[in-house]
Every structure is written in C-alpha cells, then in structure tokens.
C-alpha cells in the first residue's frame, strides 16, 4: 500500500458512490464519473487515484460473456488431497493456477480441501479436463464434480457499506 493508505473505515459516502459507479462501468470517463457523484473533475480524479493507490481499486477488466465465449457450463469441483502438508498444498496450488478452465479455486474447511469453479463447453469437454488435468494435479486423492444446471445470480459488484459505528 502507498504511504497515504486508507482503510475501509476511512472511505466516506462519496468514495462509496465512486466505487459503486466504477463497479457498474469502469469505462466511465472521469468527466462522466464526476457528474454522477456530484464532484468537480479534479476532486473526482484525486479520489479515484487515492482509492487506487490505497489498493481498494485494483485493475480494470472487461467482462466476457462466458456462454458466447464457448464455455456455457460451470462445474463445481471439490478436491481432496492425500496430504495437507504445506508443501503439498503449495504444489497443488501452483499447478492448478496453470489450468485455463479453472476460473476460481478456494482452500476450504470441511470435507474437501479445495473448491474449484471450472468452465467447460459440455460434459465431454469436462471429461477431458477431468481426466487430462484435474486427476493429474499433484497430490489429488479424490475429485467430486457437480454441474451447475443454471446460474441464478452472478454478481461482479461488491457491496460497499458504511462501517458500523464503534467498529474497530
């Protein structure tokens, strides 16, 4: 973080409005953003730079339609490793980062060690990913797969709430 770092408690209503607008459309010009949040252009630019320098705003991306890109199906894959030693976890995590179909990977508590969201074209494509990649990842003992039937909700905007009074 930069020397002028800020914490969640330091952001005010205007910062929250800026974050909201940029999460909806990061391609907004500074002029349009300033107008939407009722600031001068220079004040808006200073706030955006402050939020970026502090690490609260991280990058700008274009969202690609997963189905139109040829990956209409999501498969949620629970993976259990043979060992939970730190080195084994690191080897698995390093290898799973290289699989382009794995969109998300979480270290979990509970029955499985990892939960992955894998995108595929269809069941046959998933069979390929499963047999050629997932089961060959370092230390894998068990792979349990669940196809999503339909996406009910998928958000890209994080809620930017006002901190609770007295929260430390």
Closest of 81, 138, 73, 135 to residue 101, by C-alpha: 73
H/E element, 77: strand 73-81
Q: At 54, is the secondary structure helix, strand, or coil?
A: coil
Tell me the fold of 73-147.
Answer: Alpha-Beta Plaits (3.30.70)
> Which class for 61: exposed (0-12), middle (13-18), buried (19 or more C-beta within 10 A)?
exposed
Length of the chain equals: 168
Question: In the prediction, which pLDDT does 7 show?
Answer: 76
SS3 label, residue 61: coil
Q: What whole-number distance in Å separates Cα of residue 142 and Cα of residue 158?
A: 33
pLDDT of residue 133: 98
Sequence ranges of the domains in the chain: 8-53, 73-147
DSSP SS3 for 107:
strand
- pTM of the predicted model, to two decimals? 0.84
What is the DSSP secondary structure assignment for residue 56, as one 8-state letter? S
**For residue 138, how many other CB atoms are within 10 A of its CB?**
16
Q: How far apart are CA 122 and CA 120, in angstroms?
A: 6
Q: What is the pLDDT of residue 136?
A: 98
DSSP string, 115-126: EEEEEESSHHHH
Q: What architecture is the 8-53 domain classified under in CATH?
A: Orthogonal Bundle (1.10)
pLDDT (tens, 9 = 90+) of the chain, 168 residues, equals 344 567 777 889 999 999 999 999 999 999 999 999 999 999 999 999 999 999 999 988 889 999 999 999 999 999 999 999 999 999 999 999 999 999 999 999 999 999 999 999 999 999 999 999 999 999 999 999 999 999 999 999 999 887 766 554
């Amino acid at each position: 973080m930069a020397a002028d770092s800020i914490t969640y408690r330091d952001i005010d209503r205007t910062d929250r409005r800026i974050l909201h607008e940029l999460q909806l459309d990061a391609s907004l010009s500074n002029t349009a953003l300033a107008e939407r949040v009722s600031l001068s252009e220079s004040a808006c630019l200073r706030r955006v730079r402050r939020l970026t320098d502090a690490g609260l705003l991280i990058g700008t991306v274009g969202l690609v339609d997963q189905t139109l890109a040829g990956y209409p199906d999501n498969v949620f894959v629970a993976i259990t490793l043979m060992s939970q030693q730190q080195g084994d976890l690191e080897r698995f995590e390093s290898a799973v980062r290289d699989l382009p179909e794995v969109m998300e990977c979480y270290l979990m508590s509970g029955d499985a060690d990892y939960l992955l969201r894998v995108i595929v074209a269809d069941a046959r494509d998933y069979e390929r990913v499963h047999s050629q990649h997932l089961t060959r990842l370092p230390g894998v003992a068990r792979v349990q797969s669940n196809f999503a039937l339909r996406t009910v909700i998928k958000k890209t905007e994080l809620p930017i709430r006002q901190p609770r009074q007295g929260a430390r």
